[in-house]
Each structure stands twice: as structure tokens, then as C-alpha cells.
Structure 1
Amino acid sequence: MTRGDKSAYTDKQKRQAEHIEQSERKEGRSKKDAERIAWATVNKHDGGGKRSGSGRAHHASHHR
């Protein structure tokens, strides 16, 4: 996947990014910044791209 290519994302992730982008635009962010924030947020929550399971693994040792 090349940088900027969104084909590996699920439809749900694409919808989430669009919703976040619209919210950021309402807050006055530029189109470019809103899109960057939206995809960074989707990646933070899901780890980016198509995934099996429910996102990143959480290990008890990381929660102290």
C-alpha cells in the first residue's frame, strides 16, 4: 500500500474517517488538516488497514 492509498481500509474505517473529518472541518480546520487528523485517529484506534479481530491487542502488563 503506497502512502495515501486508502484501499486497505474497511468501509467502516472509511466512514469513521469521513465523520471525523467533517467534525474537524466544523471546528474550522483546513481540509488537509481535517483529513490528516481523521486518518490518524482511525489508525490510532484500529491500527490501520484491514484487520481481523477488534483492533490492537491489549495486554494486561501494559495496564498498571
Structure 2
Amino acid sequence: MPQGDKSSYSNKQKRQAQHIEEGYEKRGTSKPEAERRAWATVNKETGGGRKSGSGRGHPTNTAPSRKGGHIGGAASAGRTAAQRSTSAKKAVAIRKRNAEHRASAH
């Protein structure tokens, strides 16, 4: 089977990949990258291409679909309260400066 051939995937797997790809594109990912990620997710969840039928191995693992949301926030969680506070104060100052700049530009 040539690389990229999707004939060994079930219709359900193809639908899953399509939905995942649409979700990535909605969030601004390019079409080729969204397709690559979608099929990687389907492969991780279902164990690769397999046609329907009994006795085909393991149940699906939905962890890869949930993974993205769990990754976020790890960076700020590892910072101290003082570091987060400093960062927040800096953000306020930048927003204020940008607002003043926009007001003077008009």
C-alpha cells in the first residue's frame, strides 16, 4: 500500500479525521498541517487503518483528542505569584500605552 493511501481506513475513521481537520482549520492551522494532525490523531486513537469487523484488537483511546486542552497553562502554573504579578502589571502598562498611542493617532 503506497504512503498516504487511506483505503484501509474505515468510513468512521475517515469521518473522524475530517471533523478533526475542520476543527484545526477553524483555529487557523493550514490545510496540509491540519490534515497531517488529523490523521495522526486518528492513528493514535484507533491504532491506524483498520476496516470494520469483529476481533480487531483494542478499544479506541480518546486521550489524544483531549490532550490539547490539558497542555495549556503549564507555563504559568510553574511561575511564582510574584512573577505572575509582575507580568500582569507589565501587561496593564503596555495596554495603557497602546491606548494612549491609538488616541493620539486619531
Choose between structure 1 and 2 for higher RCO, CA contacts under 8 A separated by at least 6 residues. Answer: 1
State the number of aligned residues.
56
Summarize deviations over 1:11-62 as a string: whole Å, max 9, x none. 0000000000000000100000000000000000011011614358xxxxxx
Per the normalisation by structure 2, the TM-score is: 0.49
Bigger Rg, which one: 2
In structure 1, the partner of 2:25 is 25
Structure 1: unaligned runs, 5 residues or longer? 57-64
Identity across matched positions, percent:
59
The answer on 1:10 being equivalent to 2:10 is yes
Alpha-carbon deviation of 1:5?
Answer: 0.3
Secondary structure of residue in 2 paired with 1:3: coil
The residue that corresponds to 1:49 in the other structure is: 49
Cα offset for 1:2? 1.3
| Alignment-mate amino acid for residue 5 of structure 1 | D
Q: Which runs of 5+ in 2 are unaligned?
A: 62-106
Equivalents in 2 of 1:9, 1:29: separation in Å?
Answer: 24
